[in-house]
Amino acid sequence: MSEARIARFPGRVGLLDVAAALPEQYPYLLDSAATGPLGSCSLLLRRGDERPLVLERPGLLNGPGEGPGFLDRLDRWYRDRGTNWQASSGVPFSGGWFVYLGYELAVEIEPVLDLPSACDGLPTAFAQRCTGAVIEFHDHGGRILLAAESENVLHRMQEELSAVPARQRADTPPIQDIVAEPAAEFESRIGRIHHYLRSGDVFQVNVSRGWKGSFDRAVNPLDVYRNLREHNPAPF
């Protein structure tokens, strides 16, 4: 693979504006609200042309690579299409993969586990080759760098971002029909967690109470995220 190409984007562009204007080309936003070395930048990844590797549910696996499981195929795919990223390049990403791993994928590592299927509509695991990234550095006045695997991809990214208009902010409507997980069910789960902790089966458990709501009209997910980022920021 040829050396990665890196260039500073001369204009001002918001990652959310790019994601909204070009959702097919730039579908993966890795945004950071934290400070320090691990939160110094946000990434918007550019999707490559190769089809993704998708584990919809156990036993339903499609995409590149060879092997019986998702991790086997991802490993083979990575070995066949490894990147040439180097820490000395000054950017955290110049081509590679966007990877999502659900908790349910743990059964590939520990087959003795008997985990319930997720009901969130997401695949169990997903991997997509990405040939470049728009990188926003938070500690340099919003400096934007473009990183790509090739000169051709870098040129296409420069053209794409130059044509992105500033997006007018759209306020999200009030949430309708908010329904919370019944308190008794949530408290019962907390009780089981205490039992696991006292038994030494686990040392840390992340748990949250489920809430569901709806809007009275179609809403762009990026507008929802923009509002959450401003009014309910999290350090992760």
Same domain, 27 and 140: yes
154, 91 in Cβ contact below 8 A?
Answer: no
Q: Chain-centre distance of CA 31, in angstroms?
A: 9
H or E element at residue 121: none
Q: Looking at 162, 186, 214, which one is the last position of a domain?
A: 162
127, 93 in Cβ contact below 8 A?
Answer: no
Domain hosting 122: range is: 5-162
* pTM, two decimal places: 0.84
pLDDT, tens digit (0-9, with 9 covering 90-100), for 95-153: 889 999 999 999 999 989 888 888 888 999 999 999 999 999 887 677 899 999 899 99
Residue 89 counted as domain residue: yes
Same domain, 142 and 197: no
pLDDT of residue 87: 56
The gap between the terminal CA atoms of the chain, to the nearest Å, is 33
18, 26 in Cβ contact below 8 A?
Answer: yes
Same domain, 213 and 100: no
Q: Looking at 119, 140, 162, which one is the last position of a domain?
A: 162
Same domain, 54 and 20: yes
DSSP 139: T
pLDDT of residue 90: 72
39: left (phi over 0), alpha (psi -120 to 50) or beta: alpha
Residue 55 counted as domain residue: yes
- Reported confidence tier of residue 170, pLDDT bands at 50, 70, 90: confident
Residue 168 counted as domain residue: no
pLDDT, tens digit (0-9, with 9 covering 90-100), for 191-220: 999 999 999 988 989 888 988 889 988 888
Residue 167 counted as domain residue: no
Q: Which residues pair with 100 in a beta bridge?
A: 126
What average pLDDT score do residues 164-178 get?
81
Q: Looking at 162, 188, 212, which one is the last position of a domain?
A: 162
pLDDT of residue 174: 85
The chain-wide mean pLDDT, for the chain, equals 87
When mean pLDDT is compared across 67-76, 84-93, 188-197, 206-215, the lowest value belongs to: 84-93
pLDDT of residue 57: 86
Percentage of the chain exceeding pLDDT 90:
48
Same domain, 123 and 146: yes
Whole-number Å distance between alpha carbons of 17 and 123: 26
Residue 134 counted as domain residue: yes
177, 171 in Cβ contact below 8 A?
Answer: no
